[in-house]
């Protein structure tokens, strides 16, 4: 047992299993599959998690039947015997590090998680979701029985692969939940109507799974404590369901919140939101209970176990951001943990598989030279203290190079520091705080308020073996046309440079579709401004991750923000004339009298002094062209590893 977080890092017995600790890697699919079969990259991901110190890994959802596959075949197809060898490899990878591995089985039902399928969506009743284009096919009794057999076959395949247990995914509005909920189950036969009828499908699935599981393997059920949709199931329903299935020999429950599109909470949501729901399930059933969902640190996890609310705590994105979080927490190295930002950006894009905005190794693998001391120690100068420059400095210093960072402002972070000033986006600064701590730990020399000019280059060249240029980006300059009006940049808004009383403002997003304009609109709405958001695009917030866009637009709508899509902002030469919104398609200008303007255009690269990348110079991050945090971190990582 660890002196740090002793409750979290104590063993626990679940069914016939003994876990070395109570920290669980929750199911998070990697999309590292070809034709429905896991690849070596998926196995590497499991090994990375196991080596990081978790007690249990629950594999990402694997589907149980051909009626719930995608054309991409990126979901693992557990009903096929071809998955047995690769699943066995994942089990072995976990066992090598004294972790256990449980496979999760799933049928999406009427949900298709953003991908096309050659099979029609299917459900207990033909009730369409708001998320997908087609109403589902209502399953016949014969089709239901065939899908149950798919669960039996899939369990048999996982058992043959050597898993330590199997989990039924009955949460997030997938097929079992669709049967259990009166919102989605309007059947009048034996699979609908009463509570007992709506539970019949789930009980049949559990019986089929248990029939293929030898003694000693654990059977778990994942449930949504709150579905968080109008008319959806609540914690009272969840407790009743848990009590019903517990009698069937369930070894643990895994409790989460939400349905598809709502269960991956972004930084606007409260941390550890599902713990009270899990505590109620545990108290009602007496069954060991696992909780997850936006739990980012060992302190919260340890407290939940210490106070008897839960038995185990799961993390998904936090362990993607830093798989070593368990080992670092257990040994008290909390300052070395790279925190999850909760932005759902790279980890939810699956382009083409799992990546992480702050951990460049996820989806790319560890660079062969990371963790190895460089053959020859170099003097490295990094110009720019944003995420790209700091990541390059971190990796280079970790390999033994002597690194110096020059940052022209009085604080590290670059444009990330501006973005973190937006409402509900404060967690962005976590990556800067982490990298700043790493600079101290690795003894990187950091100079703030130290702007480097072109006349300094000769001296820098003579003092270094390698220069990393990471000078970042800046807002577009205000044009003379705007100087005659009340006009601001997004940076002005987020950094509190908007003076005077609140009034009317048009926030114009010139084809970006990402956070800046929307963050400015939210900040101004919070300060009492009458806000119109306009964009030339034909959709709102189109480049913001779906799990973040919906709550963002809900907040803006609640604040009374007006939205105008497919409109361009026209600014007359006469400063006394009002600005107008002009339709991209059709005619009919709309004037905005006495309105201030926030015109967002993509940031522009800061000069890299005309230095070109070469053997002794690397140019990375936004000064190449402004992009996202993930690009900056990936480029900094690569340069630091290759020095």
Active-site amino acid positions = 174
d(CA 25, CA 386): 31
Q: Which residues contact 453 (CB under 8 A, 6 or more apart)?
A: none
b/e 319-340 (16+ beta carbons within 10 angstroms → b): bbbbbbbbbbbbeeeeebbbbb
Length of the chain, in residues = 643
3-state SS track over 285-337: HCCCEEECCCCCCHHHHHHHHHCCCCCEEEECHHHHHCCCHHHHHHCCCHHHC
Eight-class DSSP state of 607: P
Q: Which residues contact 364 (CB under 8 A, 6 or more apart)?
A: 355, 634
The DSSP code sequence of 105-145 is: EE--TT--TT---SSPPEESS----SSSSSPPEEPPHHHHH
Task: Calculate ∠ Cα 534-262-531, nearest 5°.
Answer: 20
Beta bridge partners of 315: 25
Task: Calculate ∠ Cα 362-346-22, nearest 5°.
Answer: 60
User: How many Å separate Cα 216 from the centre of its chain?
Assistant: 34
Q: Which residues contact 466 (CB under 8 A, 6 or more apart)?
A: 378, 379, 380, 381, 616, 617, 618, 643
b/e 275-295 (16+ beta carbons within 10 angstroms → b): bebbbbbbebbebbbbbbbbb
Q: Is 163 exposed, middle or buried (0-12, 13-18, 19+ CB in 10 A)?
A: buried
Which residue in this structure is represented by tokens 């992009």?
627
First to last CA, the chain: 40
d(CA 546, CA 258): 14
């Amino acid at each position: 047992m660890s002196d740090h977080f002793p409750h979290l890092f104590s063993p626990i017995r679940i069914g016939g299993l003994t876990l070395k600790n109570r920290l669980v890697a929750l199911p998070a699919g990697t999309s590292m599959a070809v034709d429905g079969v896991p690849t070596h990259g998926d196995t590497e991901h499991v090994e990375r998690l196991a080596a990081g110190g978790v007690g249990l890994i629950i594999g990402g959802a694997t589907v149980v039947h051909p009626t719930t596959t995608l054309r991409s075949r990126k979901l693992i197809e557990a009903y096929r015997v071809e998955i047995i060898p690769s699943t066995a490899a994942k089990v072995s990878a976990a066992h090598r590090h004294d972790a256990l591995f449980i496979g999760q089985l799933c049928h999406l039902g009427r949900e298709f998680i953003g991908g096309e399928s050659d099979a029609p969506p299917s459900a207990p009743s033909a009730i369409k979701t708001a998320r997908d284009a087609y109403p589902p096919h209502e399953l016949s009794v014969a089709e239901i029985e065939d899908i149950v057999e798919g669960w039996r076959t899939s369990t048999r395949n996982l058992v043959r692969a050597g898993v330590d247990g199997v989990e039924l995914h009955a949460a997030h509005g997938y097929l079992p939940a669709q049967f259990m909920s009166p919102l989605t189950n309007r059947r009048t036969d034996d699979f609908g109507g009463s509570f007992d009828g709506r539970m019949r499908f789930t009980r049949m699935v559990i019986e089929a799974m248990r029939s293929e599981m030898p003694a000693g393997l654990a059977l778990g059920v994942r449930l949504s404590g709150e579905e968080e949709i109008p008319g959806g199931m609540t914690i009272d329903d969840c407790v009743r369901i848990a009590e019903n299935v517990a009698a069937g020999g369930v070894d643990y429950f895994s409790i989460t919140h939400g349905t598809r599109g709502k269960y991956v909470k972004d930084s606007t949501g409260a941390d550890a939101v599902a713990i009270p729901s899990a505590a109620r399930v545990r108290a009602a059933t007496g069954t060991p209970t696992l909780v997850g969902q936006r739990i980012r640190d060992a302190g919260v996890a340890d407290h939940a176990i210490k106070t008897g609310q839960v038995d185990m705590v799961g993390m998904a994105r936090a362990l993607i951001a830093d798989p070593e979080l368990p080992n670092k927490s257990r040994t008290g190295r909390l300052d070395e943990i790279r925190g999850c930002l909760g932005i759902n950006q790279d980890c939810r894009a699956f382009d083409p598989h799992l990546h992480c905005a702050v951990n460049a190794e996820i989806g790319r693998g560890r660079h062969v030279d990371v963790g190895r001391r460089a053959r020859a120690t170099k003097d490295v100068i990094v110009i720019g203290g944003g995420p790209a420059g700091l990541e390059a400095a971190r990796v280079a210093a970790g390999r033994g190079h002597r690194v110096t960072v020059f940052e022209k402002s009085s604080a590290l972070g670059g444009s990330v520091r501006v973005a973190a000033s937006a409402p509900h986006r404060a967690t962005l600064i976590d990556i800067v705080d982490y990298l700043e701590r790493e600079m101290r730990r690795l003894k990187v020399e950091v100079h703030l308020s130290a702007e480097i000019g072109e006349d300094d280059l000769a001296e820098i060249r003579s003092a270094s073996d390698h220069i990393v240029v990471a000078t970042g980006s800046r807002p577009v300059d205000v044009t003379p046309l705007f100087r005659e009006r009340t006009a601001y940049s997004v940076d002005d808004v987020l950094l509190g440079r908007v003076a005077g009383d609140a009034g009317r403002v048009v926030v114009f997003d010139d084809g970006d579709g990402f956070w800046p304009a929307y963050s400015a609109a939210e900040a101004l709405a919070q300060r009492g401004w009458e806000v119109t958001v306009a964009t030339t695009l034909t959709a709102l917030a189109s480049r913001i991750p779906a799990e973040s866009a919906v709550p963002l637009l809900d907040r803006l709508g609640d604040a009374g923000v007006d939205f105008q899509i497919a409109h361009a902002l026209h600014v007359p030469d006469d400063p006394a004339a009002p600005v107008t919104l002009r339709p991209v398609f059709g005619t009919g200008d709309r004037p905005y009298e006495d309105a201030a303007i926030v015109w967002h255009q993509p940031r522009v690269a800061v000069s890299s002094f005309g230095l070109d990348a070469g053997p002794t110079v690397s140019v990375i991050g936004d000064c190449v062209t402004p992009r996202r945090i993930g690009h900056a971190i990936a480029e900094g990582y690569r340069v630091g590893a290759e020095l």
